[in-house]
Amino acid sequence: MAENLALEIRNVTKRFPGVIANDNVSFNLRKGEIHALLGENGAGKSTLMNVVYGLYAPDEGEFLVNGKKVEINGPHDAINYGIGMVHQHFMLVPVFSVTENMILGSEVTKGTSLDLKRARKEILEISEAYGLEVDPDAIVEDIPVGVQQRVEILKALYRKANILVLDEPTAVLTPQEAEDLFRVMRHLTEKGVSIIFITHKLKEILNVADRVTVMRRGKVVGHTTPAETDQQGLATMMVGRDVLLEVEKAPAQPKDVVLSVENLTIKDERNVSVVKDISFDVRAGEILGIAGVQGNGQTELAEAITGLRGIDAGEITLSGERIPFEKPRWLVEHGMGHVPEDRHKHGLVLPYDLADNMVLCTYYQKPFAGAFMVRNRDAIQKNADGLMERFDVRAPSTAVAASTLSGGNQQKVIVGREFSRPLKVLVANQPTRGLDVGSIEYIHKEIVKMRDEGVGVIVVSAELDEILSLADRIAVMFRGKIVTVIDAKDATREKLGLWMAGSNPDEE
Amino acid sequence: MDDQAEKEMSTSSGSWLGRLWRTIAVPLAAVLLAMLIGAILLAISGADPIKAYSALFDGAFGSMKAFGRTLAKATPLIFSGLAVAFAFKAGLFNIGAQGQLLFGALVSAVAGFMIHGLPPFLHATLALLIGASAGALYAAIPGALKAYTGAHEVITTIMLNYVAINITDYFADGPFKDTTGGNIVARTPEILDSARIPTIGNIPLGFVLAVLAAVVVWWLLWHTTLGFEIRTVGLSPHAAKYAGMKVAFTVILTMVISGFLAGAGGAIETQGIVGRYQPGFNAGLGFDGITIALLGKTHPFGIIPAALLIGAMKAGASTMQFDAGVAKEITDVIQALMLFFVTADMIVRKLIHARDDGGEKITLSGWGQQ
Amino acid sequence: MKNTNQLPTEVSPLQRFLKRWGWTLAMVLGVIGITIWQYQLNAQATEAVVASTIRQSTPLVLGALCGLLGERSAVINIGIEGQMLLGAFVGFLVNVWTGNLFLAVLAAVLTGAVMGLLLAYMSVTLKMDQIIGGTVINILALGLTGYFYQVGMVTQGKLQPIPLGPLANIPIIGPAIFNNPPITYATFVLVIVVHYVLFYTKWGLRTRAVGEHPRAADTLGVDVFKIRYVNVIMGGAIAGLAGAFLTLEAVGSFERAMTNGRGFVALAVMIFGKFTPLGAWGAALLFGFANAIQTQLQFADIQIPHQFIGMLPYLLTIIVLSGFVGRTRVPAADGVPYEKE
């Protein structure tokens, strides 16, 4: 039995200040299998793998590689034992070439100089051997995310990894690209590589995994195989209770157009057009979902609509009024709500307490400020108490810093602040990224409630499931253009996936 | 374990005395450590540290007159400390307080000797305001450069310090040179009595103004929407933009207010102490502001005791040099050590086993970030 | 896959080079042109200006090398001024005590390295704000040199020029380049060496990776802390050498605050030179040239108050910073302490 195991993790405990991220976790990986590690955001999957890879030092626990006990004191050791990891956020230096990224830390040299020629040749050899095509001379920031992921996998293989950890690898891929990745994964296992596949997507597990280990709140709560279970079963194991996989909502009752985007073009910092001549409308009482692989212009589009970014051509009207660009305050005063993509960068001032964060956009208005710019503490406090109660924010008090809250509660602070203003249009960009299922359900319900109250809602999400369950209409973005707008009733994962990859499913 | 941590947090944040202690423990320890190392340096260079320090203390607090001297020395320091600390709140490091202070000192001197026929109170107020405004205008330059071109204020303000030295030298040695009695020294004429800020008893009126300024700064930062905007821009410029604040404008305005404070410090030095502008008389006051701001934890009420401490060292330095034969530059070394220990607070915390006070950390922008 | 607009359009290497270096190149060529033209008119003054350009640029390029070693590994070094000043003072002191110039230079370099270590400790280990850390070094250096320097200390000689045979007799550049004291020669060599190390060696690749994406480097087994420590200490040593240049080669004695802002100007030189040693060299020569002209102007019979001429290099620095900061790519992780967990 033990000879079968490529990797064995015994009783790992890892504590961070205030939380136990891994509580006595054990896990094993057989040679040549794909072992899925399933759990909600924050369940401790990535922490466990970072411990295995030597990035975090465990407080307790031991590791066996190929049946032998080993000490892993850093990534260097992990690499030596044949462990390779593809992180959720790619570990690539954007301004380096593919070759430079591949050899970093394992450089080939001639005398004192780097031998880039030899390295290039080696990379081409490996790339051919595994059927993963890359251009060794391309600069990483210029290549698409799908190819960047290939570079990451090759990086591990270049270091002769036979245990490969893939952390949420499909988050940046279309369903079809994900299928390709699964084929590559199966191909790798045939060549003797064992794979740990971290995910919170149930369908993918049923599709590709040989075995499944489920984690919840830092603990292993069960093992299963795709043959023994189904999506509902996995979901229940992951969350610990029955979950609704679908959002309950009545059919939309769309009214007048509240937001209209016409011929919008945006260039980025490098003067490349990232949004190209886009036009669409949003009606009161409907949810428009914007789907697409990350990096196809959705972020820039949402930033332009919400006043965070200037544009190069086109116009946007809100209830018939042309909006000025890069004037978020005008938008606040004209009924635009915004749940930003990055809640730590834009949505919150982390060192501020909750009360201040809850008036971040309205601090200057009555009753929060009086004459001579004097702030009204009582009104600010009252507002905070009300929102805490209504939006179920779990925190010791409104006086704690926003940084001390969990992601779900931080997002509820933002949702509470934005949804409690009189709104005509709401832009929610990745509203549930990184949240636990309970918070996701809650925020989805609130978004639908806003729609039913007659707000025109735009939901931008890289999660197809989120788009499919929330949207009434779906626009797909590909390379800066909206390639289609379809009714949610007619949308399927497969169809959307093809649109997201730039092909037209109706032509095939 | 979680519960225990939480309980600990709630009890200590409940008692304001505990909170106060956690805030002042590190600066206090930093001061003591710096004095200790200063004593060792003194001993190495052959002086008697105890004799030196008691002479220093004597010169600063030994009599009412000495105490008055300490207050006078502390006055411009409170202003420059406030100037630096105020800019910190918006994430800006105003190393240029020195240059702004020079402009304040020069311009108030010019207003002090050129404007005739005003009643005393009015003349002094006017000269003070004009001087402070000169500092404000001068600080607007690096503010605008930062806001519109991204040029980092640390380098531009340092460069502008050198420029300020040159310009003020030029005026004091050229157009506004004092030519009475065949004077050849580069300096302006003496200001009129009506422009002087008096000392009442042993307490300089300027000191009272400095304390008032600290209260106003405190009120502005924590009780007005402008203060909220400034602090938001300092903690997270991106969130400030999201919240609809005018980030570029706030950066410039913060520099202007900071420069106003520094300029006021220079003006009060001219009108209350020196009585004219003379190059070299204000050297270092702006740089001391950095030490004072950090020693005072960038809080207006922390800056007053910090400035008094540095002021006392300046007031006592001459007595120490005279009585104990120690070069008064040792106080600069001690000051630098205080700055080091108070900023390297992790070392100090380890030494005195103090916990983190959880206060707002200062983060300044680098070259690349906006 | 039909639409490839998002990829940047192809540019030839020459175009890319011109886009990146065009302005610098044009200015350098312009300066060379003017110099040759001036040489026809007044050979002696021109040779003096060229030699003075090299002299003035030496501490700047050394300071810039110090800065860019740190920043390429993501440590902002605003304490170059202090590292230079303390290096200059200790070098001077050792020269006063021993009269041995070699020991004096060594002491200056070591002092700089120790100050580099202090900065690395504050910014890498203590994770202090790096700009405040650098300011601490500057104020510390001012205080220490102010206290320990006593007027009346006398040095025993300074480093003398070593002409390199017939090369020293070439017009214009001969006296300026091939007849210099040792630290100036060392500077020429250092620029080349640092450039080679940064862009052609394993260490350089790792340094740049740590400056751009330290976590990526960490996941590949690169010791981020070690890379930063070594680069900042080496940088400090180079700043110490710049200090030695001031007291042991250029002036021959010490004065309080004698660095006069050169450490900060060096930062502008570094940015102007796009964080590359060769670029910094070009930028330093430009600044040196401005300084040299300034000296000539002061001697010439022109009615400009000396204070206005004196502030030229500082104004030039501000202009350079305002014009180029936004357009120069700064290492992505610059100024950000690395947290392992």
Q: Is the dihedral of CA B9, B13, B14, B18 positive or negative?
A: positive
Cα–Cα dist A470/A448, whole Å: 7
pLDDT at B369: 47
The alpha helices in B62-152, defined as continuous H runs, are: 64-89, 97-114, 120-149
Burial of residue A236, with CB atoms counted within 10 A of its CB: 0-12 exposed, 13-18 middle, 19 or more buried: middle
Q: State both tokens at B47.
A: 């002086």
Chain A residues whose C-beta sits inside 8 Å of any chain C C-beta: 16, 53, 55-57, 74-76, 79, 85, 87, 91-96, 100-101, 103-107, 109, 112-114, 142, 155, 270, 272-274, 276, 478-481, 502-503
Which 8-state DSSP code applies to residue A312? S
Asked whether residue C159 is assigned to any structural domain, the reply reads: no
Rounded distance between C-alpha atoms, residue B294 and residue A425, angstroms:
45
pLDDT at position B105: 96
A419 band by pLDDT with thresholds 50, 70 and 90: very high
Cβ atoms of residues A265 and A276 within 8 Å: yes
pLDDT band per the 50, 70, 90 thresholds, residue A201: confident
For residues C17 and A125, what is the distance between their CA atoms, to the nearest angstrom? 32
**What Å distances lie between residue B256 and B130, B143, C228, CA to CA?**
14, 8, 37
Q: Tell whether C78 is covered by a domain.
A: yes
CA C268 to chain centre: 9
Look up residue A100 and give its DSSP letter: H
Distance CA C68, CA C53 (A): 22
More confident residue, C44 or A320: A320
Q: What is the pLDDT of residue A206?
A: 92
Identity of the residue numbered A254:
P
Secondary structure element (H or E) that encloses residue C43, with its range: helix C43-72
CA distance C234 to C115: 10
Residue B11, judged by CB atoms within 10 A of its CB (0-12, 13-18, 19+), counts as exposed
The CB density around residue B180, as the number of other CB atoms within 10 Å, is 7
In this prediction, residue B368 carries a pLDDT of 55
Pick from C308, C321, C331: CB nearest B152: C321
Is C161 part of a structural domain of the chain? no
Fold of B48-325: ABC transporter involved in vitamin B12 uptake, BtuC (1.10.3470)
- The CA distance from A404 to A47, in Å, is 19
- CA distance from start to end of chain B: 41
Share of chain A above pLDDT 90, in %: 78
CB contact under 8 A, C147 and B152: no
Instruction: Answer yes or no: are the C-beta atoms of A424 and A456 closer than 8 Å.
Output: yes
In a domain, C82, yes or no: yes
Composition of chain B by helix, strand, coil, percent to 5 = 75, 0, 25
Rounded to an integer, what distance in angstroms lies between the CA atom of residue A447 and that of residue B231?
Answer: 31
Nearest to A351 among B2, B235, B242 (CB): B235
Rg over alpha carbons for chain A, rounded to the nearest Å, is 24
Angle at B178 between CA B177 and CA B182, to 5 degrees: 120
Task: Note whether C212 and C72 are within 8 A (CB).
Answer: no
Strand order in the sheet with A19-30: A19-30, A5-16, A60-65, A68-70
- Residue C164 belongs to some domain of the structure: no
Residue A56: CA atoms inside 13 Å, Cβ hemisphere, count? 21
**Residue C211 C-alpha, separation from nearest chain A C-alpha, in angstroms:** 10
C33 interfacial to chain B (CB closer than 8 Å):
no
* Calpha distance C75→A220 (Å, rounded): 41
| ∠ Cα C229 C235 C236 (to 5°) | 90
**Does the A257-507 domain belong in CATH 3.10.150.10?**
no
pLDDT of B359 reads: 56
DSSP symbol at A401: B
Compare all CA atoms of chain B with the CA of C149 and give the residue at the minimum distance. Answer: B329
Contact A276, A481 (CB under 8 A): yes
Domain residue ranges in chain A: 2-239, 257-507
Q: For residue C223, give its domain range.
A: 52-149+177-294+306-327
Mean predicted lDDT score pLDDT of chain C:
87
Query: Chain A contact for C2, CB < 8 A?
Result: yes
Sequence-distant (≥ 6) Cβ neighbours of residue B200 within 8 angstroms: none
Which pair of structure tokens corresponds to residue A296? 């196809």
- Domain definitions of chain B by residue range: 48-325
Q: Is C191 domain-assigned?
A: yes
DSSP 8-state symbol, A345:
I
Q: How far apart are CA C23 and CA C27, in angstroms?
A: 6
Q: Does C327 touch chain A (CB under 8 A)?
A: no
pLDDT mean over A226-232: 91
Would the pLDDT of C294 be above 90? no
In a domain, C182, yes or no: yes
DSSP class of B245 = -
- Residue C267, judged by CB atoms within 10 A of its CB (0-12, 13-18, 19+), counts as buried
Residue type, A503: S
What does the DSSP 8-state code read for residue A171? G
Hey, what amino acid is at A427?
A: V
Do B335 and B313 touch, CB atoms closer than 8 A? yes
What is the four-CA torsion angle of A392, A395, A397, A398, rounded to 10 degrees?
A: -70
More confident: A49 or C12: A49
C189 found inside a domain: yes
**Tokens of residue A177, six digits:** 């690209």
Instruction: Give the minimum alpha-carbon distance from B232 to chain A in angstroms, rounded to a whole number.
Output: 7
Number of domains in chain C: 1
Rounded Cα gap, residues B109 and B279, in angstroms: 12
User: 3-state DSSP helix/strand/coil percent for chain C, to nearest 5?
Assistant: 75, 0, 25
Measured between beta carbons, the chain A residues lying within 8 angstroms of B225 are 363-364, 369, 373-375
Partners for B (CB, 8 Å, 3+ pairs)?
A, C
pLDDT tens per residue, range B134-186: 999 999 999 999 999 888 898 899 999 999 999 999 999 989 999 888 888 89
List chain B residues with pLDDT less than 50: 1-13, 369-370
Peptide bond into B49 cis (omega under 30): no
Q: Interface pTM (ipTM) of the complex?
A: 0.89
Residue range A368-380, pLDDT digits in tens? 998 889 999 999 9
Instruction: Tell me how far apart the alpha carbons of residues C11 and C13 are, in angstroms, rounded to a whole number.
Output: 6
By a Cβ cutoff of 8 Å, what residues of chain B touch chain A? 2, 5-6, 10, 223-226, 228, 232, 235-236, 238-239, 241-245, 360-361
Strand order in the sheet with A313-318: A273-283, A257-267, A313-318, A321-322
Whether the CB-CB separation of A351 and A403 falls below 8 Å is answered with yes
Which one, of A180, A170, A172, A167, lies nearest residue A203 by Cα? A170
Specify whether the CB–CB gap between C293 and C313 falls below 8 A: no
Query: What tokens does B281 get?
Result: 């008389």
- Strands (E) in A225-312, as ranges, are 257-267, 273-283, 287-291
Six-digit token string for C81: 């001024």
Identify all chain C residues contacting A114, using CB atoms and an 8 Å cutoff: 200-202, 205
Copy the structure tokens of residue C189.
Answer: 């060599």
Question: In this structure, are strands A19-30 and A5-16 parallel, antiparallel, or unpaired?
Answer: antiparallel
Query: Which whole number is the average pLDDT over A145-163?
Result: 93
Partner B contacted by C84 (CB < 8 A): no
**Is residue A268 exposed (0-12), middle (13-18) or buried (19+ Cβ within 10 Å)?**
middle
Residues of chain A found within 8 Å of residue C332, distances taken between Cβ atoms: 94-95
Closest residue on chain B to C309 (Cα): B166
**Residues of C whose CB is below 8 A from B163:** 311, 314-315
Model pLDDT for residues B205-256, shown as the tens digit of each residue: 999 999 999 999 999 999 999 999 999 999 999 999 999 999 999 999 999 9
| CATH homologous superfamily, domain A2-239 | P-loop containing nucleotide triphosphate hydrolases (3.40.50.300)
- CA gap A62, A70 in Å, rounded: 8
pLDDT of residue A432: 92
Residue with tokens 């990232």: A274
